[in-house]
Amino acid sequence: MASDTSARPLAGKVAIVTGSGRGLGLAYAQELARQGAQVVVNDVDEAIAQAAVASITDAGGTATAVVAPVGPTQTADTLVQTAVDTYGRLDILVTNAGVLRDTVLWKMSDDDFDTVIGVHLRGTFTCVRAAATYMKNNEIAGRIITIGSPTGQRGNFGQTNYAAAKAGIVGMVRTWALELKRAGITANAVIPVAATAMTATVPYFAAAVEADEKGEPMPPFFRHDLGFGTSDDVAGLIAYLASDAAAGVTGQAIGIGGDRLQVWSHPEPVVTEYHDGGWTYDALESSFADIVAANTQSVGEKFPPLPDDLQRPQA
């Protein structure tokens, strides 16, 4: 880590990264620190949180930890208060904390649904509310960076709860971009595609995950064709959106993974038709096929076949 703090774009900034004990969140926290920010790390496990702090301080950065589950308002308030009490201010919030409870609709319990919504969606809301309130009241042109998912953009089998939460996060970001504009606070969603504990269980990504675990470069098929990479591949975008250079970017959903960067479109009508007197059943019966059925949109992600040299034997 560079010793000249003044030369780094986030020098003097203070950041909170929820769910940053390991994986993507840890990569975000480490990169923010590398670029000069003082970081509040968050995890539910004390040992993991302190190890994350050590990884930052050992590299010459500055960090402290808050051990608490994201979701409750009390945790959000504690995170903001810790940043202010420890480092004097708060400039950046990255809401990364999340859990998975994957199962098909007819097997998904109330607890499966509520747990995922509570951490991802409610946790993002409570943390952003606390951070944005502090920033606005203290006239800080802060940065709100939330974490979405391709599942929230496209849907995915067995992830009703996760898809709802991630789609909801992007919806909130668009609203916050409007509400916070006058205060100079930006709000954006990052849609990462990277090797994680979840993708490690998917046979399709086996060759990429194996390479990552060995510290070897991922095959170009994954990095380029699929936009699938490492946690570090995502972290640069987090730091950039947190910087003054991104002051004019707000309300966006930006995808990143491997060698690929994407701007996701906001939902727009693909076709618009009118019928005098309104759309009765009879009017729909005569026109539905030409208007709606001819323009139905795809759901879920569709991956190309793996090249032969990347195929792995099925267990």
Determine the Cα–Cα distance for residues 232 and 248; give it in Å rounded to an integer.
Answer: 24
- Spell out where 159-259 has E strands: 186-192, 253-257
Contact residues for 111 (Cβ-Cβ < 8 A; gap 6+):
101
pLDDT of residue 200: 78
Q: What's the mean pLDDT in 191-217? A: 87
pLDDT confidence band for 314 (50 / 70 / 90): low
**Cβ atoms of 195 and 231 closer than 8 Å:** yes
pLDDT of residue 6: 54
CATH of domain 5-194+230-264: 3.40.50.720
CA distances from 180 to 26, 172, 176, 184, 201 (A): 27, 12, 6, 7, 39
Q: What percent of the chain has pLDDT over 70?
A: 97
Q: What's the mean pLDDT in 256-275? A: 96
Residue with tokens 């699938």: 228
Statement: residue 2 has pLDDT above 50: no
What is the residue extent of each domain of the chain?
A: 5-194+230-264
pLDDT of residue 201: 78
Determine the Cα–Cα distance for residues 23 and 51; give it in Å rounded to an integer.
Answer: 13
**Cβ atoms of 116 and 166 closer than 8 Å:** no
Q: What's the mean pLDDT in 24-28? A: 97
pLDDT confidence band for 3 (50 / 70 / 90): very low
pLDDT of residue 311: 82
Q: What's the mean pLDDT in 158-166? A: 97
* pLDDT, tens digit, 9 for 90 and up, residues 51-97: 999 999 999 999 999 999 999 999 999 999 999 999 999 999 999 99
Angle at 230 between CA 228 and CA 234, to 5 degrees: 85
Residue with tokens 């090249």: 307
pLDDT of residue 315: 55
Q: What's the mean pLDDT in 151-165? A: 96
Q: What is the mean pLDDT of the chain?
A: 94
Q: Active-site residue numbers?
A: 149, 162, 166
* pLDDT, tens digit, 9 for 90 and up, residues 96-131: 999 999 999 999 999 999 999 999 999 999 999 999
Q: What's the mean pLDDT in 143-159? A: 96
Three-state SS string across 121-178, please?
A: HHHHHHHHHHHHHHHHHCCCCCEEEEECCHHHHHCCCCEHHHHHHHHHHHHHHHHHHH
Statement: residue 1 has pLDDT above 50: no
pLDDT confidence band for 227 (50 / 70 / 90): very high
pLDDT of residue 203: 85
State the pTM of this model. 0.94
Name the 3-class secondary structure at 257.
Answer: strand
- Quote the radius of gyration of the chain (alpha carbons, Å): 21
